[in-house]
Structure 1
Amino acid sequence: MTDEAVLLPGERVNAGQRAADLYRAVWRWHFYAGLLVLPFLVSLSLTGGLYLFKDEIDRAVHSDLFVVEQGAATVAPSQIIDAATALVPGAAVKFTTPPDRTRSAEVTIVDAGGARQAVYVNPYTGKALGTLPDRGTVMWVVRYLHSLKFFGPYARALIEIAAGWSILLVATGLYLWWPRGRNGGVLSVRGKPRQRIFWRDTHAVTGVVVGGVIVFLAITGMPWSNVWGGKINEWANGNNFGYPAGVRVEVPMSDRKLSENGLTAWSMEQAQIPRSAHAGHDGHIAQDPHAGHGGHESTTIVEAAGVDAVGIDRVVEKFETLGLHPGFAIVLPNGPTGVYSGSVYPDDLSQQRVVHLDQYTGEPLLDASYADYGPMGRALEFGINVHLGQEFGLTNQIILAIFCLGIILLSVSAGVMWWKRRPSGRMGVPPMPSDPRILHGVVAILIIGGILFPLVGLSLIIILVIDVMTRRTVLSK
């Protein structure tokens, strides 16, 4: 015996039966969405909740490298770089200024084996404090777990699929939650923990509270996805070297993208880096004696047609004069036409900035800030900043952390509710509607979502095929 009561050809369905059929159809797809999404929601909530407090956690875990006692004056940036290369011989490729007066400076070095190392230096004494692999902090590990970057591009595609299906999960869940004249289980929880109704109500009430946040996090997380996010980024920022309107300047551009230098704002990922205009005919890069084994060129010593490059000390002074927020990173020139690329992405969106200086004159070749982004770029960056818990400070962090706990409760209650409901030895897939035609409208809505999000569409086709194949099997009994 099955849960289905399929109509024979020519039979009609009354209004009450149509409503019941629609409920069954929505419930069925809510089940499929949950089956796909809930494990990811738990993982994303745990890692995302931790990452909200990345600065606080990194500072505590790596206090021996990050935290310094404030002194009267700082040493020159060139001295800091010298201390770093003395500890880890190789080519310095990036210098990051301290974000506040109690933090160390960071120098990124490509060592003799080609590996990137982050060296932390006390800016007041010039003493090297120690090293970590580049992006080797505990919060970078959490970030890579959150995005599944550890597991390759195919695994990361699952995040994109989960984000799309989570929107479906919320939409179908809202329909199932709708009171329809009921009082219990709408905003209150009935029963006791040993009863299924307790977990059903807990799931429903928690879902209606956190549903909007799930949709927000899914949408604001999509820009980082491989397929959808990558294509949207190219479309939104792919013209005119990817720079926002208003900062287009007639300077020579290299083939190198800003995102190749390191972490950058989403709106600047397609931006190309300009070239220094005072070199190119007789210039060459002096080889670092420790970098030859890995094939890496030193970016700290540059000679070009007898023209001296501006030193890092003057460059840091220039960026400070231009008003870059403390904690800005400087990628050093990577050749005779390279530039000093300064960038900073603090919690305050208005302080986001990217400035490229000619390595021979020290003059700005391009200066872009958040105010220069287009409407779409500003909206997406705002959403991303809230997603990261940065836009509204500690309040932002605490509220999102509470919602992360709520999402975990939502997922756990769904699992317990399903376990208590499912027939022994069966999956407990919700029954088919008596009139399968009721599914057509639901599937049409799903197809529209699949067109908007291609990977979601592909997974939808797979689920549809499985559903058709198992419709009259034990999975639906």
Structure 2
Amino acid sequence: MTLTADTASPTRDKSLAKAFYTTAWRWHFYAGLYVAPFLIMLAVTGLIMLWSSVLVGRDGEKLYSVSPTTQTVAVSAQANAAVAAVPGSALVQYIVPRTEEQPAVFRVSKDGQSTMVAVDPYRGTVLGTWERRDALYDLANVIHGTLLIGTVGDRLIEIAAGFGIVLIVTGVYLWWPRDGRGLAGSLRPQLSGRGRQVWKSFHQTVGIYAAALLLVFLISGLSWSGIWGEKLTQAWSTFPAEKWDNVPISDVTHASMNHGGVKDVPWALEQTPMPASDPHAAHNGHAAMSENQPGDLDAVVAQARSLGFDGRFQLSFPNGETGVWTIARDTMSNDSADPLSDRTVHVDRYTGKVLADVKFADYSAAGKAMAIGIAFHEGDLGGGWNVALNTIFCLSVIFLSVSGIVMWWKRRPSGAGRLVAPVVPGKMSIWKGGAIVMVAVSLLFPLSGIVLVAVLALDMLLFRHVKPLKRVLS
């Protein structure tokens, strides 16, 4: 019996590996083509929001400062001053000062327009007024979430975030050490090359360090999106109102407390129905909320203090006959730097009875993950390290997007009237295998999956058979 070595096997394996590499590169190229502009937009607006929050505060509370004295005036007196500053307005919200040097901030509403009023808590004087959600932070926030085009913008960003996952998966594969290149060498840029090779080395090095953070940011951002977030993830992980025993339930959800597209309510509560005050409770033998008259602002603030709320928290006034007082502190609204201290309490406006008391421990696993994830996403976790890390990350994302465009431009022949995408592998079975993997990843995110399937169908049925289109997209 004669044995012969299979000399073709190493060559075949190498050919298959090259084909799979080209497949991953091709997917990375096309995903980046769509995702890069969105990543740049998200990083730039994210930086604007981050530093606006640091410098002036999301609600403008850092625009003014006060000189502390030994005693503050009654909160009700501060509220009266705020209402007097906007004649004919009604109180909507009271934001407690974070520090002794910061003013109290009241939100008042008149003819559907919300105005913020800063009041010196020691003297009861108005320091200034401004329109709510009309600052640079808020403009960046709306662009960040909707591109200023509402639901359509939300959907386009959700598609980009889903393809961002594809970008990460293929990017990690392309970076993976091979051909004798060790792990240590792959974790630092190679400066020995020239031109495109140097850009590629920096792109891969920065990309591998940013990949895990990008995944966290994409997932936490997707959780606020209209389809994957609100319809799928949030819907089954929201706080169950059934935990409130013998409490009247309103026909509106916590989302009614949001201001347009700006999210003010913790993710885990947004779809939970609000409890309702009972207008007849005080007439049925139930005690009033305190020695003060039911519904008195000073009494509610004192009740919040007795419940353990300290530092900055937000008190929302009852809306309508069955509305409730809402005392809230959460990292998403930049009230604190500790997600584990998140807490929302609803109080009956007539009796002062606590109708609901929801803490971090009451959230579902997804709700807890989001409470921490959003706080990290917004740079609100304790200390300046989160702000510094998010700043570096956003700059890294901008660099990755720009360097990807630079590498494409340097690889593109001068005067080429086409995309110059990586070529389709000769081994179509490998190309199909890569397509199946990418479809499986993308279908975890429905909108991205639908777009991907549509693109694949167009590629097979149209693009390959219309020569001008095939040339431009090749």
TM-score normalized with structure 1 length: 0.85
Q: What residue is the counterpart of 2:109 in the other structure?
A: 110
| Residues 19, 430 of structure 2: 8 Å contact kept | yes
Mapped partners of 1:459, 1:66: distance in 2: 48
Tell me if 1:267 matches 2:285. Answer: no
Matches within 5 A, 1:48-447: 48-59=46-57, 65-89=63-87, 90-111=89-110, 113-148=111-146, 150-183=148-181, 186-190=186-190, 195-231=195-231, 232-237=233-238, 240-241=240-241, 247-262=243-258, 263-279=264-280, 309-345=294-330, 346-423=336-413, 424-425=415-416, 426-447=418-439
Mapped to 1, the partners of 2:190 and 2:340 lie a distance apart of 47
The secondary structure found in structure 1 opposite 2:115 is strand
Q: Output the CA distance in 2 between the equivalents of 1:188 and 1:94.
A: 51
1:25-44 to 2 correspondences below 5 Å? 25-44=23-42
Q: Distance in 2 between matches of 1:257 and 1:329?
A: 18
The Cα of 1:260 is off from its aligned counterpart by: 1.1
CA deviation vs aligned residue, 1:48-86 (integer Å, no higher than 9, x gap): 233334432215995784322222221111111211111
In 1, Cα distance between equivalents of 2:28 and 2:81: 58
Match of 1:24 among 22, 47, 56: 22
Q: Could you tell me the percent identity over the aligned residues?
A: 35
The one of 458, 463, 467 aligned to 1:470: 463
Contact 1:64–1:129 (CA<8 Å) still a contact in 2? no
1:343 CA drift (Å): 0.9
The number of aligned residues is 435
**Cα distance in 1 for residues equivalent to 2:345 and 2:408:** 54
Residue 193 of structure 1 deviates from its aligned partner by 9.1
Contact 1:389 1:397 in 2 (8 A): yes
Q: CA deviation at 1:439?
A: 2.1
Alignment deviations for residues 289-346 of structure 1 (CA, whole Å, 9 cap, x no partner): xxxxxxxxxxxxxxxxxx9633111111111111113222222122232211111112
Amino acid in the other structure paired with 2:143:
L
Provide the C-alpha distance between the structure 2 equivalents of 1:421 and 1:371, rounded to a whole number of angstroms. Answer: 53
Shift of 1:384: 1.8
Aligned 8 A contact 1:186 1:205 in 2: yes
Deviates more, 1:437-446 or 1:218-227: 437-446
1:131 is paired with a residue whose SS is strand
Q: 2-side partners of 1:444 and 1:387: how far apart? A: 31
TM value normalised by structure 2 = 0.85
Contact 1:429 1:475 in 2 (8 A): no
Partners of 1:464 and 1:353 lie apart in 2 by 47
User: How far apart in 2 are the matches of 1:99 and 1:279?
Assistant: 36
Whichever residue aligns with residue 357 of structure 1, its letter is V
Deviates more, 1:137-146 or 1:215-224: 137-146
Segments of 5+ residues of structure 2 without an aligned counterpart are: 1-10, 259-263, 284-291, 331-335
Tell me the distance in 2 between the aligned counterparts of 1:60 and 1:110: 18
Alignment RMSD:
2.5
Maintained 8 Å contact 1:30/1:173: yes
Q: In the alignment, which residue of structure 1 is the partner of 2:6?
A: none
Instruction: Report the CA distance shift for 1:38/1:102 in structure 2 as closer, same or farther (over 3 A).
Output: same
1:224 alignment partner, SS class: coil
- The offset of 1:174, in angstroms, is 1.2
The 10-residue stretch of structure 1 (54-63 or 87-96) with the greater mean CA deviation from structure 2: 54-63
Give the conservation status (yes or no) of the 8 Å contact 1:65–1:120. Answer: no
Displacement of 1:187 after TM fit? Answer: 3.3
Unaligned runs of 5+ in 1: 1-12, 283-306
Tell me, yes or no, if the aligned pair for 1:325 and 1:344 is still in contact at 8 Å: no
Does the 8 A contact of 2:40 with 2:401 survive in 1?
A: yes
Q: Is the 8 A contact 1:342 1:354 kept in 2?
A: yes
Contact persistence 2:92–2:317 (CA under 8 A)? yes
Q: Secondary structure at the match of 1:42?
A: helix
Distance 2:197 2:453 in 1: 33
Counterpart code for 1:236: S
Counterpart in 2 of 1:295? none
Shift of residue 354 of structure 1? 0.8
How far apart, CA to CA, are the structure 2 residues paired with 1:43 and 1:166?
A: 14
Letter in 2 for 1:327: R
Partners of 1:398 and 1:59 in 2: how far apart?
17
How far, CA to CA, are the matches of 2:121 and 2:135 in structure 1?
20
Higher RCO (C-alpha 8 Å, min separation 6): 1
